[in-house]
Structure 1
Amino acid sequence: MSVFERYLTLWVFLCIIAGVALGALAPSVFQTIGALEVARVNLPVAILIWLMIVPMLVKIDFAALKEVGRHWRGISVTLLVNWAVKPFSMAFLGWLFIGHLFRPYLPADQIDSYIAGLILLAAAPCTAMVFVWSNLTKGEPHFTLSQVALNDAIMIVAFAPVVGLLLGLSSITVPWDTLFLSVMLYIVVPVIAAQLLRGRILASGGQAGLDRLLGVLQPLSLVALLATLVLLFAFQGEQILAQPLVIALLAVPILIQVYFNSGLAYLLNRLSGEAHCVAGPSALIGASNFFELAVAAAISLFGFKSGAALATVVGVLIEVPVMLSVVWIVNHTKDWYEAGGVKVTDAADHTKA
């Protein structure tokens, strides 16, 4: 691990401070950057996410995807957590913390809207950034890709019914343009581009050429992650400074949700005998959120200035630092995990891709 990677948490902390400061000092600049979007997908952030995930996708050998079926336990656990646990546990946490414990400290007319925003956040499993978290845990890349693709397919069918059930709404306006554009931008196009690049490099330079390319791309991926963090916090710099208590209180159920669901997925994988290289990304996919879709849905349903929109934005703000903490936990508990009877050889060759 390089010095840069070893102190990634420090760089994240400094980027958060820099983002909030820049957003407060030059709000008009970041409002202009924030307005560069199509179907509520911010294009500068999309480019940075491309730079983050393409190096991970270049590693993937599609011929090996047929082997992912042997990780059916990890797939089953992740689907269970994402679709049968996470939205409902968030509804309960929102009701408990926002609806009751924190009610005296929040604007009374926004309580229901805040809870709705939290539910929207939890009902959309993460897509693109999961590749970054999986890579940092040395996760099985084929499992990660197949799980993300499966979640995307389910989300198209299940997002509206789940949200409608939990919010008690008979009709949910799903921002389909945001959903489809995000899937195309963050999954389909980068997968195709990465595989074309992989094929070209292997044809001209073989595995040694691919290793050299990955050595160049890997630092670029982490730089893009930090730049994304600066942008996200800069977009909301004024909000953070104007409503620090509200944002802190909204962060509580989100934090509990992340650690509960990631811990649940991690433990279930261990109990089922799944390999650590699958349990790591399974825990991360089970805990993280597709914040672009959540923010777009909140704005469509409740308006840009609503408590629901603010709640989803809080999810955006804490996504990177909190998921990095989960990465740290997964990496530092590998020995404990594998002492539970997991066959380490199941992880065999996932780094060869």
Structure 2
Amino acid sequence: MTSTEQTPDTAPVVARLSRLDRFLPLWIALAMGIGLLAGRGIPGLGQVLDAVQIDGISLPIALGLLIMMYPVLAKVRYDRLDTVTRDRRLMWASLVLNWILGPALMFALAWIFLPDLPEYRTGLIIVGLARCIAMVIIWNDLARGDREAAAVLVALNSVFQVIAFGVLGWFYLQILPGWLGLEQTALDISAWQIAKSVLIFLGIPLLAGYLTRKFGEKTKGRTWYEKKFLPRIGPAALYGLLFTIVILFALQGDQITSRPWDVARIALPLLAYFALMWTGSFALGKGLRMTYERTTTLAFTAAGNNFELAIAVAIATFGVTSGQALAGVVGPLIEVPVLVALVYAALSLRRRFEGKPA
């Protein structure tokens, strides 16, 4: 992630990536495999990792996410955020995609693909309600999206998540199914549980990134900060991502590997969801004549989901061994490789998007 901005823009897209980034799919596949094997092969590892938590927040996962997000948020030029908030097309498009179309699409896909599996269906609907505020930061950065726009949109999603998650859960699990004559499900979730997730997974790294840039530029200047300091901390984001993936899959490795057919059933609507949300959002950004950077940010923030919150809600409401919890766990199993592939898809579309030869 550190060398992508130092190679001439005339070079091929992949050549502009650092060696660490260029083999990202390999590193992520290895991390997923290590996590699954560790969770399956080391007796009691999942229980030990799951026990290391405070007030329902897994400390290993929180640590990995904080390490992952801090370098990216330290790159944000916070003095430029007003240029994002003035972009009404971007703000409204993000709100509509994230809080109207996204949940509605996941609801429809869950019922289409899983009409006979109510637990998994409910878990997927919960995933659709949890809009991404964490890992999307790194996908956007790898795809060379607009960092300032990503910071604003995830903050916007965070506010709406606290306000709207419970209401939308009530609507999509009880009210709308009742109108359509479908099975209804109750969801008991407190606003504090959602706010706590937002504060930990976004608030802490956002504050740290802001303070680092503010005091780093004040003492050493912007040139030193961006040319010397940021390249040093940049690789930590990928290390944090890989650590998070290993821990996440070690925690749930036994569930995933012991029910392969169920995982496959859950994976199908997820694959459809990520493909439709990303391509639709990218096409919308292009249609609204946004820049490549902001179109990419719009697509990734709309396609990603807050799996940490979805899993926490499913476990708190239905139990750790429930089908709802398994659906939440399968979310990142599918989301991580799919969004990595979409990073490369975005990079390959960049020149065509800007009207340049590939």
Which structure 2 residue ranges, 5 or more long, are not aligned? 1-16, 175-183
Is the 8 Å Cα contact of residues 175 and 293 (structure 1) preserved in structure 2? no
Any gaps of 5 or more consecutive residues in structure 1?
Answer: 104-110, 341-353
How far apart, in 1, do the equivalents of 2:185 and 2:221 lie?
56
Residues of 1 paired with 2:107 and 2:186: CA distance? 18
- Residue identity opposite 1:179 in structure 2: I
Task: Give 1:170 shift.
Answer: 8.5
Q: Name the counterpart of 1:146.
A: 152
Kindly report the root-mean-square deviation, in angstroms, between the aligned alpha carbons of the 2 structures: 1.7
* 1: CA distance, partners of 2:347 / 2:213: 28
Q: Which residue of 2 aligns with 1:197?
A: 212
Corresponding residue for 2:317?
Answer: 301
1:290-315 C-alpha deviation (Å, 9 max, x unpaired) = 11221122223322222111111111
Offset, 1:335: 2.2
Between stretches 146-155 and 69-78, larger displacement belongs to 69-78
Work out the CA distance in 2 between the residues paired with 1:171 and 1:236: 25
Alignment of 1:54-69 (within 5 A): 54-69=70-85
Q: Which amino acid aligns with 1:119?
A: I
Which of 230, 245, 258 is equivalent to 1:214?
230
Deviates more, 1:300-309 or 1:10-19: 300-309
Name the structure 1 match of 2:296: 280
TM-score normalised by L of structure 1: 0.89
Q: Which residue of 2 aligns with 1:22?
A: 38
Give 1:189's aligned amino acid. I
Distance 1:316 1:73, change over 3 A: same
Alignment of 1:112 onto 2:118: yes
Tell me how far 1:333 sits from its aligned partner. 0.9
> 1:247-262 maps to which residues of 2 (within 5 A)?
247-262=263-278
The more displaced of 21-30 and 266-275 is: 21-30
1:122 aligns with 2:137: no
Residue 153 of structure 1: CA displacement?
1.1
Percent of pairs identical after alignment? 32
Paired residues of 1:120 and 1:298 also in contact (CA < 8 A): yes
Contact preservation (8 Å) 1:124, 1:293: yes
CA contact (8 A) 1:75 1:282 kept: no
Residues 125 and 290 of structure 1 are in contact (CA less than 8 Å); yes or no, is this contact kept in structure 2? yes
Give the corresponding residue for 1:326: 342
- How much does 1:63 deviate? 2.0
2-structure distance, mates of 1:32, 1:305: 16
1:157 partnered with 2:163? yes
Q: What residue is the counterpart of 2:180 in the other structure? A: none
TM-aligned CA deviation for residue 65 of structure 1: 1.2
CA contact (8 A) 2:45 2:250 kept: no
Does residue 173 of structure 1 match 2:204?
no
* Paired residues of 2:127 and 2:307 also in contact (CA < 8 A): yes
